[in-house]
Amino acid sequence: MKIGELSQRTGVSVRALRYYEEKGALKPRRTPSGYRIFDDHAVRTVGQIQTLLSAGLGLDIISEILACMSDDSPMLDGCRERLLGERQRMTADLERIGSAVSMLNTLLDEPEPGSAGRRIASRPPAW
């Protein structure tokens, strides 16, 4: 399929797909005239890219992760170490986020000064 069809099937802009290719996350074949040709597997790959981007990863690390996941590439020790490191980094991020949420919950559960027990969370938004 050409890039426009991949864009339609995934909901990702043509521009973004070209950028994914530039960063090495997508690897289409090329026709003799230079058109990009993607196989059906590219739809799944774009979905994986979107998932990893939404988790806060950059395209450089995503490209490395996808290379480790490719069917024609066995799980190399370097891949395993890189994936373990990324998982550890993400787990630490989740712990920091959890601590921040707990702190916000504590603040929201405290009564406002002079409110006779009224909670901050019960105040209407100030916009």
Does one domain contain both 94 and 58? no
Please indicate, yes or no, whether the overall pTM of this predicted structure exceeds 0.75. no
Domain-terminating residue out of 36, 53, 73: 73
pLDDT tens-place string over residues 21-73? 999 999 999 999 999 999 999 999 999 999 999 988 899 989 988 888 766 55
d(CA 33, CA 88): 44
Total structural domains within the chain: 2
Q: Which domain holds residue 59?
A: 1-73
Does one domain contain both 82 and 69? no
pLDDT tens-place string over residues 58-117? 999 899 888 887 665 555 667 888 888 888 999 999 999 999 999 999 999 987 776 655
Does one domain contain both 59 and 88? no
Does one domain contain both 12 and 64? yes
Contact 94, 107 (CB under 8 A): no
Does one domain contain both 97 and 123? yes
Does one domain contain both 48 and 59? yes
Contact 37, 31 (CB under 8 A): yes
Contact 37, 2 (CB under 8 A): yes
CATH of the domain at 69: 1.10.1660.10
